Amino acid sequence: MKAIVIKEFGGPEVVQVEEVPDPRAGDGALLIDVEQSGLNFSDLHQMAGSYLKKNDLPFVPGTEVFGTDPSGRRVLGIISSGGHAERAVVPAGSAIPVPDFVTGQEALALGIQGFTAWHLLRTCARTVRGQSVVVHAAAGGVGSIAVQLAKAWGASRVIAVASTPDKRELALSLGADAVADSHAADMTAALLEANRGRPVDVVLEMAGGRTLDQGLAALGTHGRMVVYGTASDEPSTPVRLESLIGASRSVIGFWAADLMRTTPRALSDTLTGLFGMVKNKQLKPVNGGSYPLDQAAHAFSLFAGRSTTGKAVLRMTEN
């Protein structure tokens, strides 16, 4: 079968597509015929050797797949690695049946990224109706879903932060009430202005560095910042406890893999909710492009350069 093989750590330039032996499914696992696999920032970290759990070389990256199991069911599979290939082994408990009204690309959008957006808002921030929510990278995979979920769940004002006019327009089309430029010199001032001069209740933060520092300063009393990435690679100023205590603010970290590992039903229960919202037209995953496996290096270059929006996928056939 064809698969991406990483033989040295680095950027998209280390992506190679090669013929490798088929994986073998042991007890409690399924061999999936992969139709599409999802691109995630965790792939870039795996390839760079900077992921929270480092892979041994060589390895096949990829943490989510859509395809068919041995019984012919359409399934979404979440795995630790091995997904960017024509076949992949998925633990039976992590193979989620996909209803007919959800496309393969939509299912992948709702996998790790949809799961993350759901739990950033519900489990970590405990967002309630009438609160303001800031979504960074609002045109990306997590952000584009978080904007829609926040609006569907009654946020009083969703503020979408994105880097280009087109991305900000996309966020507005998804339901954001206001936008801010991620390159703003003073993010605190930009967020306060977007929230009509008032501090914000919730910030979904994935950049780190200056963005985190200034976003924290925009939080109001009882405000919550949920940190789920450090995409900027900039160092953040250590958070002073007094700055949290004085306004009863919180900073919360989130890694989707931890919740999936510690709460086995979290994935299936969350996807049931997300599938239902798609069916009820409360949520529409954004198509971020589909690339043949042989063009994986190019796809990852676009992804790493923040040139994609929504959910980008690799497909295992030319069709």
**Tokens at 232, concatenated:** 């900027």
**Spatial CB neighbours of 70, under 8 Å, sequence gap ≥ 6:** 30, 31
Rounded to the nearest 10 degrees, what angle do helices 112-119 and 141-152 cross at?
A: 40
Is residue 211 exposed (0-12), middle (13-18) or buried (19+ Cβ within 10 Å)? buried
In this prediction, residue 319 carries a pLDDT of 58
Which residues in 86-102 are b (16+ Cβ under 10 Å) and which e?
A: bbbbbeeebbbebeeeb
Cis peptide before 58 (omega within 30 of 0): yes
Within 27-156, strands assigned E span: 29-38, 64-68, 74-78, 87-91, 95-97, 132-135
CA 13 to chain centre: 23
Q: To which residue do tokens 């350069």 refer?
A: 305
In this prediction, residue 9 carries a pLDDT of 95
Query: What is the pLDDT tens value at each position of the chain, 319 positions in all?
Result: 999 999 999 999 999 999 999 999 999 999 999 999 999 988 998 998 887 778 899 999 999 999 999 999 999 999 999 999 999 999 998 899 999 999 999 999 999 999 999 999 999 999 999 999 999 999 999 999 999 999 999 999 999 999 999 999 999 999 999 999 999 999 999 999 999 999 999 999 998 888 899 999 999 999 999 999 877 777 777 888 888 898 899 999 999 999 999 998 999 999 999 999 999 999 999 999 999 999 999 999 998 888 889 999 999 976 5
Helices (H), 61-181: 104-110, 112-119, 141-152, 165-173
Q: Would you say the C-alpha torsion 83, 87, 93, 96 has a positive or negative sign?
A: positive
Pairing of strands 287-292, 250-253: unpaired
Is residue 24 exposed (0-12), middle (13-18) or buried (19+ Cβ within 10 Å)? exposed
d(CA 22, CA 4): 13
d(CA 224, CA 227): 10
